[in-house]
């Protein structure tokens, strides 16, 4: 008589990164150090290329050169292409030219550095110039922004980092990998038995109790966008970080959170962000996109689309949310 040796539980680690928490899980505990090096390398690369809070980032250089052609790195080019694809897919609901709008609202520094209640009046809103005005040749990597345009790649760059890190770590270790960067989560390689259990919450840093909603995935990615966590006050108004490109203002609240499943984290985060911007139009748009989604209204009511399962109360491993 033989018995199967129980497989070890996934190994996990977490650390601060990109203004949020990076969490890494691997199905083979011995692979954790190699996977961690891969993840940290990817995060450093994306930060150098796409951070709008670093004076020495490539994004800062690109924004300062608006109106003048410049050549960008391969990493920045990939991030820009992801942002442009997101803008096209969402018909501009997710637009990388919202950088000036974000700065006008006061989000021109890391979130941790924002004053919680700034009494200074808000300048007039700055609608996005529009992604269609960006001139970019992916073959030569020559880019020219319209004058006075500032890019913000935050809606896609973090998700791209999750995708790349999960894929590269799985290739380097040969095991299953889950990478979570805040609400952006990507998997690669074989999933653990029963799938990756993902806890769902308004705030990834404050997950629900064990009885809270959770979902299992065996591959692909999840992303959650919401309006409750990254908020601040300015001139007596409560603002959040998801901007409607058409107005330059925070998107009108209709959903507390939106979680979307997709093949890649970039696609999932693009759709969840677009849903917040689209508000009442999000349900029809997500149905048209044929993406599984779970939307939580301001009053807590839940809308499930695209075959999203009923909420399960099974606990998830720490960090995988």
Q: What is the CATH number of domain 11-305?
A: 3.10.520.10
**Mapping DSSP to helix (H, G, I), strand (E, B) and coil, where does residue 5 land?**
coil
Local confidence band at 321 (pLDDT 50, 70, 90 cut-offs): very low
Residues 6+ apart with CB under 8 A from 30: none
For the chain, list the strands marked E by DSSP. 11-17, 20-26, 70-71, 117-118, 135-137, 142-144, 177-181, 184-188, 196-199, 214-217, 221-226, 231-234, 237-240, 243-244, 249-250, 255-262, 293-297, 302-305
What are 186-228's pLDDT values in tens digits? 999 999 999 999 988 765 555 555 567 899 999 999 999 998 7
The pLDDT tens digits of the residues spanning 6-39 come to: 677 899 999 999 889 999 999 999 999 999 999 9
Domain ranges (residues) in the chain: 11-305
């Amino acid at each position: 008589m033989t018995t199967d040796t129980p497989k070890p539980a996934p190994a996990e680690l977490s650390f601060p990164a990109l203004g949020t928490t990076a969490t890494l899980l691997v199905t083979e505990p011995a692979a954790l150090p190699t996977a961690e090096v891969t993840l940290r390398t990817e995060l450093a690369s994306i930060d150098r290329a796409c951070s709008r809070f670093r004076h020495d980032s490539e994004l800062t250089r690109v924004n300062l050169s608006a109106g003048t052609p410049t050549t960008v790195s391969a990493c920045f080019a990939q991030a820009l292409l992801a942002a442009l694809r997101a803008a096209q897919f969402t018909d501009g609901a997710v637009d990388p030219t919202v950088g000036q709008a974000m700065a006008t609202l006061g989000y021109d520094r890391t979130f941790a550095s924002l004053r919680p209640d700034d009494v200074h009046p808000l300048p007039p809103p700055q609608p996005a110039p529009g992604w269609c005005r960006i001139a970019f040749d992916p073959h030569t990597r020559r880019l020219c922004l319209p004058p006075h345009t500032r890019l913000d790649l935050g809606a896609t760059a973090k998700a791209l980092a999750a995708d790349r890190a999960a894929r590269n770590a799985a290739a380097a270790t040969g095991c299953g990998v889950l990478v979570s960067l805040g609400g952006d989560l990507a998997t690669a390689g074989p999933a653990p038995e029963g799938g990756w259990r993902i806890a769902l919450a308004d705030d990834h840093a404050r997950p629900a109790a064990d009885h809270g909603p959770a979902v299992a995935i065996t591959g692909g990615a999840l992303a959650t966008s919401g309006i409750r966590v990254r908020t601040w006050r300015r001139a007596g108004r409560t603002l959040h970080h998801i901007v409607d490109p058409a107005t330059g203002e925070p998107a009108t609240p209709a959903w507390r959170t939106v979680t979307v499943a997709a093949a890649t984290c970039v696609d999932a985060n693009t759709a969840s962000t677009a849903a917040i911007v689209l508000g009442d139009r999000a349900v029809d748009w997500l149905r048209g996109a044929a993406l599984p989604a779970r939307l939580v209204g301001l009053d807590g009511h839940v809308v499930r689309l695209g075959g999203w399962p009923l909420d399960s109360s099974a606990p998830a491993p720490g960090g995988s949310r």
